[in-house]
C-alpha cells in the first residue's frame, strides 16, 4: 500500500511495447507501456482494455476508423474489437485490464511478452 | 468507444464527494470525483480501490499512518482496509473499482451516493 508515482515508474524503463505491471486489484492489473511506431493488429476475446495517455500521442486504429489520444485522454476498447496502437512520435500509456490479458491478444508476434515484469 | 478527456469531464461538475462514472470495463468502473475536506472513515469488504490524483493533493489516512498523493500519484487501498480521504485544499481524483463499490463502503453518511451518475 505505497504511493506510486507514474513519472517515477516511467523513468525505470525505456523498452517499447513491453508493458510493466505497477499494481493489481480485483483481478485487474495496472500497467505502464512505452510505445513507438506501429503495433500488431489484434483483439482480446474476453477482455476490455483501457488506454490512458500519459505522454505523447497515441492513435488507436480500428477497422473502420481511428481515434487520436493526447495526454489526459483515454479510450476503452471493448473485447473482441480489433485494434492497432500506433504512436508515430512515441507515447507512454497507462493500461487497465484483467490480469489475464496478453498485450498482443490472440496474435503471437516477435514482440509478444508472455510474462510482464513488475516494476 | 469514444475518446474521453479527463479535464473536459472534470469541467462538467463541481459537487464534492459525488463520484461520476466515465467508463466501465470488465465489471469495473472508472470514476471521477472532486474532494475537499474530510470524508468519512470507511472500508470496502470486497473491493480494492485505486485512487489516482489528477488535480490538487489527497491525503489518505489509515489507522496507523497516512500517505500524501500529488498529481500523477496513485495508491491502491486493499479490501477491508479502513481509510479516510482528506483533501484540505481540494483534489480531483480518478477511481478504478468494481461496479458494485459504494464510495462510503459499509458506512451510510449524509453524503452517500447510492446510484452514481454517468457523465
A-chain residues near B24 (CB < 8 A): 76
Cα separation of the two ends of chain A: 14
Are the beta carbons of A4 and B77 separated by less than 8 Å? no
Picking from B6, B67, B68, the nearest residue to A72 by CB comes out as B6
Please provide the size of chain A in residues.
Answer: 119
pLDDT of residue B79: 96
- Residue B21 to chain A, least CA–CA distance (Å): 13
- The answer to whether residues B43 and B82 touch, using CB atoms and an 8 Å cutoff, is yes
Q: What pLDDT does residue A106 have?
A: 73
Give the CA radius of gyration of chain A: 13
ipTM for the predicted complex? 0.93
Look at residue B10 and give its three-state secondary structure. helix
What secondary structure letter does DSSP report for A11?
T
Contact B76 A28 (CB under 8 A): no
Domain extent listing, chain B: 6-103
Per-residue pLDDT reduced to its tens digit, B3-15: 999 999 999 999 9
Q: What is the signed CA dihedral for A60, B71, B60, B97, rounded to 10 degrees? A: -10
Most A-contacting residue of B44, B60, B76 (CB-CB within 10 A), to test interface = B76
Task: Name the band, by pLDDT with cuts 50, 70 and 90, for residue B110.
Answer: confident
> What pLDDT score was predicted for residue B111?
78
Q: Which of B67, B69, B72 sits opposite A7 (nearest CB)?
A: B72
Query: C-alpha grid cell for residue B119?
Result: 457523465
Look up the CATH number of domain B6-103: 2.60.120.10
Measured in angstroms, the CA of A57 and the nearest CA of chain B are apart by 12
CB contact under 8 A, A73 and B28: no
CB neighbours of A30 closer than 8 A, spacing ≥ 6? A21, A22, A23, A24, A94, A95, A96, B50, B74, B76, B96
Q: What would the DSSP string read from start to end of B55-100?
A: EE-EEEE-SS-EEEE-TTEEEEE-TT--BEEEEEEEEEEEEEEETT
pLDDT tens-digit readout, A8-66: 999 999 999 999 999 999 999 999 999 999 999 999 999 999 999 999 999 999 999 99
> Rounded to whole angstroms, what are the CA distances from A66 to A60, A69, A110, B46, B61?
6, 10, 25, 38, 43
Confidence label for B109 from pLDDT (cuts 50, 70 and 90): confident
Res. A101 pLDDT band, cuts 50 70 90:
confident
Among B30, B69, B73, whose Cβ lies nearest the Cβ of A50? Answer: B30
Residue to substitute from A10, A28, A48, interface B, most B β-carbons within 10 A: A28
The per-residue pLDDT for A83 is 96
Cβ contact, residue pair A1, B78, below 8 Å: yes
What are the tens digits of pLDDT across the range B26-72? 999 999 999 999 999 999 999 999 999 999 999 999 999 999 999 99
pLDDT at B19 over 90: yes
Mean predicted confidence (pLDDT) in B67-80: 98
Among B2, B7, B24, B25, the strongest candidate for a mutation testing the A interface, having the largest count of A CBs within 10 A, is B25
Mean pLDDT of chain A: 94
Amino acid at each position: 500500500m505505497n504511493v506510486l508515482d507514474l513519472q517515477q515508474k516511467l523513468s525505470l524503463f525505456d523498452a517499447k511495447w513491453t508493458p510493466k505491471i505497477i499494481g493489481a486489484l480485483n483481478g485487474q492489473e495496472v500497467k505502464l507501456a512505452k510505445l513507438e511506431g506501429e503495433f500488431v493488429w489484434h483483439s482480446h476475446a474476453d477482455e476490455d482494455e483501457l488506454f490512458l495517455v500519459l505522454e505523447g500521442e497515441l492513435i488507436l486504429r480500428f477497422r473502420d476508423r481511428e481515434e487520436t489520444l493526447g495526454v489526459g485522454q483515454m479510450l476503452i476498447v471493448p473485447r473482441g474489437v480489433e485494434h492497432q496502437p500506433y504512436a508515430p512520435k512515441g507515447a507512454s500509456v497507462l493500461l487497465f485490464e484483467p490480469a489475464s490479458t496478453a498485450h498482443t491478444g490472440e496474435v503471437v508476434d516477435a514482440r509478444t511478452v508472455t510474462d510482464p515484469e513488475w516494476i
